[in-house]
Structure 1
Amino acid sequence: MVLATTAPAGLRSAAWTRSVQRRIALTDAFVVAMTMVIAHGLRFGWDLFIPLAGPAAPAYIWATVGISALWVLQLGWTRSRDIRVIGSGPEEYQRVLSAGLRTFGIVAVAGFFGGWALSRGYLLFALPVGTLVLFGYRRIWRAWLHAQRRSGRCRHSVVIAGPRRTVDQMVRRLASDYDHAYQVAGVCLSGGDKGRALAEDLPDVRVLGSVAEAATAAQQVGAEYIVLAGNEDVSLSEARRLEWAVEDTGIGLIVAPTVADVAAPRVLVSQVAGLPLMHVEPPHFSGPSRALKYAADKIGAAAILLVLGLPMLVIALAVKLGSPGPVLYRQQRVGLGHEPFEMLKFRSMYVDADARRAEALAQDDGNGVLAKRHDDPRITPVGRIMRRYSLDELPQLINVLRGDMSLVGPRPPLPAETALWDEDVFRRQLVRPGITGLWQVSGRSDLSWEESVRLDLHYTHNWTLGLDVIILLRTAWAVVAGKGAY
């Protein structure tokens, strides 16, 4: 995560940045306008000049225009198109949601003080539908941006400055994820000549000099930012001089602390004696917010079961006719506090699958502890279809009603897997496992074991109800795409 970014006057902004922001702004305006027009048409027909109820009330058409303009402005004021949040993480979606809530909060207050009775059906249609459509369009833009970044386009060139070990870890993490906006142009290492010698094994990255030379080196390679990584060899005065050195160069300075995988809501930056101090709130594993999550899980699971009850009966019949054996597969998994529970799934494998588990372990697809294979011979034809679209997991809604699982959470592990864990991985079980989670919407079985663990731990320590909503929306997209499921 980034602690602070300074953007000096004249900071260079790549042409692609302005182009992307302009296109997204046009999309936002189109979606908002269409949503409000459709809401007006469905509620009032196409009579544009039906008046609002109340003294000196304008026609609804002016309310539609005014709300649309306010909503578009709020999308800008919440900085939902900030290039630093577009394309990665949940912050972009949270800002889009915040813009919608603020818009309709302002409308409600204005209507109250103006004595105007706005139609509740009109507003209750526009807010959720418009926000969901905005999410969908933003997801399409994100997919396009990711494709561009995998091709080496739409990236900011950066120089990473810091100690060799920290720089090495940052370069490797950035190289393993193509969805972010940063392309490493080189590194500057602390420790002088000794630091340079130790850095010879860094993959495909040039060592440009020492940390003191970072500003000059960044100018030479055309970098847009310098990332100053946690550096015990740089004094406060030296770091300040580096900030001064980039003032008139158009190069931004990003300070990356050594604390990783901490979400922004848990971070507060305060200034004490001229020092920017980062306060990291501890994660909360109990309390009112967790009670709210527990209640939301129960209500959500019950509602989904009511909607999907008939389709689940059809799936159950397909499983029964597809191969001999029971409809449901019951398996011991490890839940909250390392307590075992019986997880339910539609049976997607032949009845002798557990006896043939060693076969899968001997030929996994490189994801280690997870032991997954694209061509697992134990999966039935019906099971292969169910797994592609995660239909086999629907009975886990019953586990949610029982209190064993959550709608969103870490992947529920097998007892045999926990025997291979180290102490850090055990922290996944501080929360209830989920039907879906960051691991599922970020690649599912295509992820390495290390990346799956990192995502689960990130969720465990940074959970919010808003993050759950975003993960559920992204899950729908991942299920439809069928990517990474086998």
Structure 2
Amino acid sequence: MSLAQAASDDVGVGAPPVAVEGDRPLRVDPKTALGAIDLVTVVVAAVISVLVVDPLGNGARVGTSDAEFVLLVMSTLPVWLAIFAGQRLYNIRFIGRRIDEVRRIVNATFLGSMGVALAAFFVDLELPRSRIIVLFVATTLLVTAEREVARRTFAAMRARGRMVRNVVIAGANPEGRELAAMLRTDAWLGYHVLGFVDDTVTDPEPVPGVPLLGTVADAGEILQARRGASVIVAASAIESATTNRLARDLLDRGVHVELSSTLRDIASQRLVVRPLGRFPVVYVEPVQRDGWRRTAKRVFDVALASLTLLAASPVLLAAMVAIRLDSRGPVLFRQVRVGRNGRPFQVIKLRTMVVDAEERRAELLEANEADGPLFKMTDDPRVTRVGKVLRTTSIDELPQLWNVIRGEMSLVGPRPALPHETEAWDPLLTQRLRVTPGITGMWQVNGRSESSFEDYTRLDLYYVDNWSLLIDLAILAKTVPVVLLRQGAK
């Protein structure tokens, strides 16, 4: 994550993304296409709002006619376009940053809906409140869906070398090399790494496939020769005075400049660049976990867990019968886990192993494929035949919904830790106990079976440090395809 991306897309100027060798120019500017689709989406949302008859009991067909309302919305389309642009929804970099983008979409659609209400007031049109509410909800959902399609489209195009920005990395220290490796691996981000500039490294290829192009002093000429290329400065590799000189030189040449940040585990929406005298300071917004936010999370947890448990009860009952017929022992498996603020509780799952699984664990320690305190085997002999199916489909986790209803767990949160794991934690990891553990989390949607202990802790700490209701909704949305496609479940 670059500082420019994290704090403001106005840090640095320069040419738009350019094609790598062999790329064909785009026939339609992506921003123009998005703008046109947004305008159509707003009109569709207006039509939807007139098709929904009095959803909130406010007389949807009183006053303004259907046609008048749609025409009113169409007359405000330039305002909608300006609001969307003001929320930076046409900045290609924000597409794909789901949480930040959804927040901007909600802000934009709310302001646009209020603009329609204000326009109705000035032209003296009687407008039911339900129309505005439905318009807001419909535009929010439709634009969010539209941007998800755009994100996937742009990612696919970038992976094929389209809409790609050529970039040179200033600094070939560990941070710079890690950045280059990440950009090469995650092609969907839209960067093609040309090479490094560095004053201390002599290796002609600091990263396989990424050559050393010259020194930092050569950066201006190197980038000017590669028209449209930009530079990312690895902040820890170059002194601030050198970075300032480099930035001035490159900006004068019309080169886009970005500065990477070591604040990679802090969500970008929490970072704000503010001037402090002559120094630009990155202010980290505090995480708001208490008050109405905690209440809203709890209400959402109970409501969705109750509905899911009710809907899944036939599946749960069938699984219980299968367990009983497959192997001896109880249907449910209970295990002590550590909850919020260190309070122990019993997590409930469907039993997927033989009864003496814990006793046999010591015999299998040498075959452990996980690191840290985790235990993981590709083909664990303790797992029953039915248990394999339950684990693959995540049906074994359904009883945890009762833990959610009881308040011991949340739908989304850090992985609930075992007592012996917490005993080995350092002070940093104890921050995981500040929030309620969850059935799903960032570890679940990022390949839970393939994750190392370090990955688990990093993802859990990221969640704790950056929690928001939008993040919870995004994780839940990503959990559905993960479960259905059986990704990472073993």
Q: TM-score, normalised by structure 1?
A: 0.82
1:269 Cα deviation after fit: 1.4
Would the aligned equivalents of 1:17 and 1:83 in 2 still touch at CA under 8 Å?
A: no
The match for 1:33 among 34, 38, 43 is 43
3-state SS, counterpart of residue 202 of structure 1: coil
2:455 counterpart residue number? 451
User: CA, structure 1 residues 37+224, in 2 after alignment: closer, same or farther (shift >3 Å)?
Assistant: same
Would the aligned equivalents of 1:224 and 1:250 in 2 still touch at CA under 8 Å?
A: no
Q: How many equivalent residue pairs?
A: 471
Range moving further from structure 2, 257-266 or 348-357: 348-357
Structure 1: how far apart are the matches of 2:316 and 2:175? 52
1:116 Cα deviation after fit: 4.4
1:268 counterpart residue number? 272
Range moving further from structure 2, 407-416 or 445-454: 445-454
3-state SS, counterpart of residue 89 of structure 2: coil
One-letter identity of the residue aligned with 2:461: L
The answer to whether structure 1 residue 125 and structure 2 residue 134 are counterparts is: yes
1:73 Cα deviation after fit: 4.7
1:183 counterpart residue number? 192
Would the aligned equivalents of 1:316 and 1:327 in 2 still touch at CA under 8 Å?
A: no
One-letter identity of the residue aligned with 1:337: N
Residue by residue, what CA displacement relative to the aligned partner does 1:188-228 show, whole Å, maximum 9, x if unpaired? 22xx3xx1236865333211222222222234455622111
Matches within 5 A, 1:418-437: 418=422, 421-437=425-441
1:303 counterpart residue number? 303
2:410 counterpart residue number? 406
Matches within 5 A, 1:4-43: 4=4, 6-8=11-13, 10=15, 14=19, 15=25, 19-43=29-53
User: CA, structure 1 residues 66+340, in 2 after alignment: closer, same or farther (shift >3 Å)?
Assistant: farther
Unaligned runs of 5+ in 2: 5-9, 20-24, 55-59
Residue by residue, what CA displacement relative to the aligned partner does 1:67-105 show, whole Å, maximum 9, x if unpaired? 666545533331223111212452222222222222223
Would the aligned equivalents of 1:294 and 1:406 in 2 still touch at CA under 8 Å?
A: no
1:463 Cα deviation after fit: 1.7
Structure 1: how far apart are the matches of 2:464 and 2:113? 32
The answer to whether structure 1 residue 466 and structure 2 residue 470 are counterparts is: yes
Residue by residue, what CA displacement relative to the aligned partner does 1:112-148 show, whole Å, maximum 9, x if unpaired? 6666443344343343344233333333333344344
User: CA, structure 1 residues 182+431, in 2 after alignment: closer, same or farther (shift >3 Å)?
Assistant: farther
User: CA, structure 1 residues 132+212, in 2 after alignment: closer, same or farther (shift >3 Å)?
Assistant: same
2:345 counterpart residue number? 341
Would the aligned equivalents of 1:11 and 1:250 in 2 still touch at CA under 8 Å?
A: no
3-state SS, counterpart of residue 443 of structure 2: helix
1:84 counterpart residue number? 93
3-state SS, counterpart of residue 122 of structure 1: helix
Residue by residue, what CA displacement relative to the aligned partner does 1:338-382 show, whole Å, maximum 9, x if unpaired? 332211223344444444545776556667654445554544555
3-state SS, counterpart of residue 404 of structure 1: coil
Residue by residue, what CA displacement relative to the aligned partner does 1:385-421 show, whole Å, maximum 9, x if unpaired? 5444544333333323333222322222223444554
3-state SS, counterpart of residue 134 of structure 1: helix
Would the aligned equivalents of 1:87 and 1:179 in 2 still touch at CA under 8 Å?
A: no
User: CA, structure 1 residues 141+446, in 2 after alignment: closer, same or farther (shift >3 Å)?
Assistant: farther
Would the aligned equivalents of 2:98 and 2:474 in 1 still touch at CA under 8 Å?
A: no
Residue by residue, what CA displacement relative to the aligned partner does 1:398-451 show, whole Å, maximum 9, x if unpaired? 323333222322222223444554554333233222222222233333434433
2:164 counterpart residue number? 155
1:315 Cα deviation after fit: 2.2
1:51 Cα deviation after fit: 7.9
Would the aligned equivalents of 2:306 and 2:401 in 1 still touch at CA under 8 Å?
A: no
User: CA, structure 1 residues 355+224, in 2 after alignment: closer, same or farther (shift >3 Å)?
Assistant: farther
The answer to whether structure 1 residue 291 and structure 2 residue 291 are counterparts is: yes
Identity %, equivalent residues: 34
Residue by residue, what CA displacement relative to the aligned partner does 1:303-340 show, whole Å, maximum 9, x if unpaired? 12442343332122112221224443222222223332
Structure 1: how far apart are the matches of 2:105 and 2:364? 43
3-state SS, counterpart of residue 195 of structure 2: strand
3-state SS, counterpart of residue 209 of structure 2: coil
Unaligned runs of 5+ in 1: 45-49
User: CA, structure 1 residues 367+257, in 2 after alignment: closer, same or farther (shift >3 Å)?
Assistant: same
1:228 counterpart residue number? 233
The answer to whether structure 1 residue 253 and structure 2 residue 262 are counterparts is: no
User: CA, structure 1 residues 119+97, in 2 after alignment: closer, same or farther (shift >3 Å)?
Assistant: same
One-letter identity of the residue aligned with 2:214: G
User: CA, structure 1 residues 71+468, in 2 after alignment: closer, same or farther (shift >3 Å)?
Assistant: farther
One-letter identity of the residue aligned with 2:396: D
One-letter identity of the residue aligned with 1:442: N
1:47 counterpart residue number? none
User: CA, structure 1 residues 385+141, in 2 after alignment: closer, same or farther (shift >3 Å)?
Assistant: farther
1:168 counterpart residue number? 177
2:57 counterpart residue number? none
Structure 2: how far apart are the matches of 1:467 and 1:200? 39
The match for 1:202 among 190, 207, 221 is 207
1:254 Cα deviation after fit: 0.5
One-letter identity of the residue aligned with 2:178: Q
The answer to whether structure 1 residue 107 and structure 2 residue 111 are counterparts is: no
Would the aligned equivalents of 1:436 and 1:475 in 2 still touch at CA under 8 Å?
A: yes
Structure 1: how far apart are the matches of 2:351 and 2:81? 48
1:294 Cα deviation after fit: 2.7
Structure 1: how far apart are the matches of 2:142 and 2:311? 26
One-letter identity of the residue aligned with 2:151: R
Structure 1: how far apart are the matches of 2:228 and 2:369? 38
Range moving further from structure 2, 405-414 or 150-159: 150-159
One-letter identity of the residue aligned with 2:50: H
User: CA, structure 1 residues 303+184, in 2 after alignment: closer, same or farther (shift >3 Å)?
Assistant: same
One-letter identity of the residue aligned with 1:401: I
1:290 Cα deviation after fit: 1.9
1:323 counterpart residue number? 323
User: CA, structure 1 residues 94+386, in 2 after alignment: closer, same or farther (shift >3 Å)?
Assistant: farther
Structure 1: how far apart are the matches of 2:315 and 2:29? 46
Would the aligned equivalents of 2:172 and 2:196 in 1 still touch at CA under 8 Å?
A: no
3-state SS, counterpart of residue 197 of structure 2: strand
1:263 Cα deviation after fit: 2.0
One-letter identity of the residue aligned with 1:251: V
One-letter identity of the residue aligned with 1:134: V
One-letter identity of the residue aligned with 2:201: R
Structure 2: how far apart are the matches of 1:432 and 1:409? 6
Residue by residue, what CA displacement relative to the aligned partner does 1:227-267 show, whole Å, maximum 9, x if unpaired? 1122475343x333322322354420002233332223332
1:415 counterpart residue number? 419
Q: TM-score, normalised by structure 2?
A: 0.82
One-letter identity of the residue aligned with 2:70: I
Structure 1: how far apart are the matches of 2:308 and 2:240? 61
User: CA, structure 1 residues 429+310, in 2 after alignment: closer, same or farther (shift >3 Å)?
Assistant: closer
3-state SS, counterpart of residue 52 of structure 2: helix
Structure 2: how far apart are the matches of 1:367 and 1:133? 43
